[in-house]
Structure 1
């Protein structure tokens, strides 16, 4: 059972490396850093410093992309981190939502994601890639870097099952959602003639608390963001039926990464009721006492997850409290 923590790259790399080192000391297995060039510091710079300040903990991107970063640039950056943390680095790759939206670009299509992954794999293996008038290769490659795809829709889940070394699920720990996603991944693997299970890493918001309702209210912007970005069918599995507009201009940069979280909660009140938020917290998140969170983690692994990485609410501060609460009270129970 791999339990990780998501740390937004919201501060100087040396300070974030200290956060990761504390997570390592408390027994976390992995630390994952998201990539969004206007929201946070450069993810590969943060990973490089963190690699030098830690010894055991796994490191990963959750996630980078091939829309704002050329695949050859991602390959070089991934190789660099892998050299500093041998056997510890996982390259998480996605369509680029929070990287592309603030600069007016579109997310990668399924075909672009597949081509980007193929190019990454070839370069990291030391193979040449055809760039039109030239064929080039990565000097000093690192073929041991596993590439995991973040996916939520059926087509990308099947793509991940067909070609990726693992899958990052951004839909939380709902048993129904996890089962549906795992079935799509297995179908993609079967169609590609792959044998064996493809590792599934689940992302979930978490808070150790006695007041579940208060914590659930803080999750309203997350719930609205999921509905806004194509996740309404997943929410419907828990009886949550939302219609959120494509654009919400009252919060910056978007409702899921709002700088003013209290305002984002008030805005989300228009579409997400307290009952919706509570259902979301109970079905998709890990919110409750330490014993309750530990029990839900066990259930998630029993349902087929290979790993879980935990998120706190908010994008612009490190998850100090979550690391201490889970490391001190939850992980010992596992």
Structure 2
């Protein structure tokens, strides 16, 4: 079994050159990957940031986690992906999702499974240099292709619901699991991915990357309180059954006022925590942190990462609380403690 890849999520929340400083530090400390989210109103352009990171690093993997096919046409994505991949050969992964914080603030719908399948088909064909028949507004076809293609760019699909998990298993080069590190929910998600792969006649194991909020701490209770908005958002967006599997009963209204732009990306995090305390108790937040997140001492986090690897997970990307500052503290804490423990054994 290949070594577990440890990544870090870095929002493009500052100038690209400054964000590259964080990426370069992650590379120095031994992280395998850096993943950048894409949301045009929240952060700087993700492909501008990726370009700077590609030019400023030598080894570390770079990826989107995630971009989308709603605000970016597949042909535009193909060109952008090709442009980054040629600056970081063998290091770039294009992670795709339904849109979330990209589409919500501008009134667009999330990408449906059918549109995702069609978009990935087009994207893969263009990256391979194939001619594609685009629909013309006059009713005909326009045949075009991408000049200087990069067919080696892997396309990973982020998924949480059963339909998209099966779709990922069927058509993606890898899967980004958004269910956290809870063993029960991970097992269910991985089973749906396998179903999709088997239906498509695929036998090779797909890379499975799991996202998880992380804090190296001796005071889990205090840190857990800070992720109440995350727990509330999961419950609000159809994830209550997943939480219930871990014994967490949280009911959140469909609309929560006083938080902008949404619970996960709140600009005033303290206010979001206070508001969500009406539905997420301290006990529920602690249970959520223990079950779905990687909170604890370096040794505890290391043990959980090894267990994840044993279960079939091939990579993780760690998230800090907050969207508008780089995760410099988490990079240092994990890089100087957790990665040291892992490197001494199975890395």
Q: Which residue of structure 1 lines up, in the alignment, with residue 156 of structure 2?
A: 148
Following TM superposition, by how much is the alpha carbon of 1:235 offset from its aligned partner in structure 2, in angstroms?
A: 1.0
Following TM superposition, by how much is the alpha carbon of 1:76 offset from its aligned partner in structure 2, in angstroms?
A: 0.4
Residues 59-208 of structure 1 aligned to structure 2 (within 5 Å) = 59-132=62-135, 133-208=141-216
Q: Which residue of structure 2 lines up, in the alignment, with residue 42 of structure 1?
A: 45
Q: Which residue of structure 2 lines up, in the alignment, with residue 286 of structure 1?
A: 294
Which among 322, 340, 346 is matched to residue 332 of structure 1? 340
Unaligned runs of 5+ in 1: none
Distance 1:31 1:230 in 2: 28
Retained in 1: the 8 A contact 2:209–2:316? Answer: yes
Retained in 1: the 8 A contact 2:9–2:36? Answer: yes
Following TM superposition, by how much is the alpha carbon of 1:135 offset from its aligned partner in structure 2, in angstroms?
A: 1.2
Listed one character per residue, the Cα deviations across residues 136-183 of structure 1 (whole Å, up to 9, x for unaligned) are 111110000000000000010000000000000111111111111111
Q: Which residue of structure 2 lines up, in the alignment, with residue 218 of structure 1?
A: 226
Which among 260, 273, 279 is matched to residue 271 of structure 1? 279
Distance 1:251 1:2 in 2: 34
Distance 1:3 1:52 in 2: 21
Distance 1:41 1:236 in 2: 36
Using structure 2 for the length normalisation, give the TM-score. 0.95
Which among 57, 60, 70 is matched to residue 60 of structure 2? 57
Q: Equivalent residue of 2:324, what SS?
A: coil
Retained in 2: the 8 A contact 1:167–1:201? Answer: yes
Retained in 2: the 8 A contact 1:178–1:303? Answer: no
Once structures 1 and 2 are overlaid, which stretch shifts more, 123-132 or 48-57? 123-132
Q: Which residue of structure 2 lines up, in the alignment, with residue 30 of structure 1?
A: 33
Retained in 1: the 8 A contact 2:289–2:295? Answer: yes
Q: Which residue of structure 1 lines up, in the alignment, with residue 253 of structure 2?
A: 245
Distance 2:256 2:312 in 1: 36
Once structures 1 and 2 are overlaid, which stretch shifts more, 235-244 or 277-286? 235-244
Q: Where in structure 1 do 4 or more consecutive aligned residues deviate above 6 Å?
A: none
Task: Determine if the alignment matches structure 1 residue 259 to structure 2 residue 267.
Answer: yes
Q: Which residue of structure 2 lines up, in the alignment, with residue 319 of structure 1?
A: 327
Following TM superposition, by how much is the alpha carbon of 1:249 offset from its aligned partner in structure 2, in angstroms?
A: 2.3
Q: How many residues align?
A: 334
Which among 15, 20, 31 is matched to residue 17 of structure 1? 20
Distance 1:192 1:108 in 2: 22
Which among 303, 325, 339 is matched to residue 295 of structure 1? 303
Retained in 2: the 8 A contact 1:13–1:49? Answer: yes
Q: Equivalent residue of 2:336, what SS?
A: helix
Retained in 1: the 8 A contact 2:179–2:189? Answer: no
Using structure 1 for the length normalisation, give the TM-score. 0.99
Following TM superposition, by how much is the alpha carbon of 1:246 offset from its aligned partner in structure 2, in angstroms?
A: 2.1
Q: Equivalent residue of 1:126, what SS?
A: coil
Following TM superposition, by how much is the alpha carbon of 1:221 offset from its aligned partner in structure 2, in angstroms?
A: 0.3
